[in-house]
Amino acid sequence: MTANARRTKDDVDALQSKMKDADELSSSDDPESPGGSQPPLKRSKSSTPSSSSSSHSKSSKSSNSTGTSSNSASTSTSTSTTSSSSKSSKSSKSSSKSKSSKSSKSSKSKSKSAGSRRTGFGTAAKRIQQEMKELASDPPRNCSASPKGSNIFDWGSTIMGPEGSLYEGGIFYLDIVFPQDYPFRPPKVTFRTRIYHCNIASNGAICLDILKDQWSPALTLSKVLLSVCSLLADCNPEDPLVPAIAQEYINQREVHDSKAREWTKLYAT
């Protein structure tokens, strides 16, 4: 073999060797090749736990977030409930204090009113006792008066018909009731004995100015009885309590006088 032929063969062998190496390298890089390695599959498997871990981490974060939100809502609800309870308690205390204050004021007002009544009652009783002594020591003419019993506010009175009047010879009985604020209000004086008089009604009421709007605390029962006696002696037809009798007194004086005397004999003797 010549030198040229030998070099040509060596070149062919070298070329074939390179081609074989290239084929082996290509076969090792092919993933479907039976002899190929499986690193990509291992990387895929290792990536799955990472993904799962990431998912678990997200889920954990989400759960933590939900728990935090729930705890926050629970805390908010608890705070709101506590605040509401506190407000309700304050409102209840305020209402209780208000009611207690009103009750206390009402009680004080009632106590003052009761005290005022007791004071007025005491003042009236003292005044009546004083007048009773005066009536006993210096009674008005043709009149007498005294308490009916143990009640110092309930009196009885007797008036003798004035001499020369239509009621002469008659004995007239009266009821006297003192108010508890006497002498700031007049006593109530009524005839118990029937009498024919234009200023005295059938129920015993008397039309006398000092027993109404002309009353004054300076007046006394003694002066009231004297005024009643004066009314029997001289009636007032211009301010009658029984208009029919007043008209009869003005227009038919004789008829009027006759009836007055007749009633006196019938009811007052």
At 30, the amino acid letter reads: D
Q: Supply angle C-alpha 260, 141, 131, rounded to 5.
A: 120
Phi/psi at 85 (5° precision):
-65, -40
Contacts 24+ apart (CB under 8 A), 44-48: none
| Cβ neighbours of residue 40 closer than 8 Å, sequence gap 6 or more | 31
Task: Pull the structure tokens for residue 161.
Answer: 């018909």
Q: What is the mean pLDDT of residues 37-41?
A: 47
Cα distance between residue 268 and residue 226, in whole Å: 19
What is the CB neighbour count within 10 angstroms for residue 121? 14
- pLDDT-derived band at 192 (thresholds 50, 70, 90) equals very high
Cα distance between residue 183 and residue 187, in whole Å: 8
- In the numeric block, the tokens 């010879």 are attached to 169
Report field, pTM of the whole predicted structure over 0.85: no
* 263: pLDDT strictly greater than 70: yes
Q: For the chain, where are the E strands, in sequence order? A: 143-147, 154-160, 171-177, 188-191
pLDDT digits (tens, 9 = 90+) for 90-140: 555 555 555 555 655 665 556 555 555 566 689 999 999 999 999 999 999
The pLDDT score that the predictor gives to residue 121 is 80
In 3-state terms, what secondary structure has residue 244?
helix
> What's the whole-number average pLDDT of the chain?
77
pLDDT digits (tens, 9 = 90+) for 9-26: 666 566 666 666 555 554
Burial 29-51 (b: 16+ CB within 10 A, else e): eeeeeeeeeeeeeeeeeeeeeee
Task: Pull the structure tokens for residue 257.
Answer: 């006088």
* Residues involved in catalysis: 207
| Cβ neighbours of residue 135 closer than 8 Å, sequence gap 6 or more | 144, 145, 146, 221, 222
Give percent helix, percent strand, percent coil of the chain, each to the nearest 5: 60, 10, 30
Structural domains of the chain, with CATH: 120-268 (3.10.110.10)
Q: Classify residue 220 by its DSSP letter.
A: -
* 187: pLDDT strictly greater than 70: yes
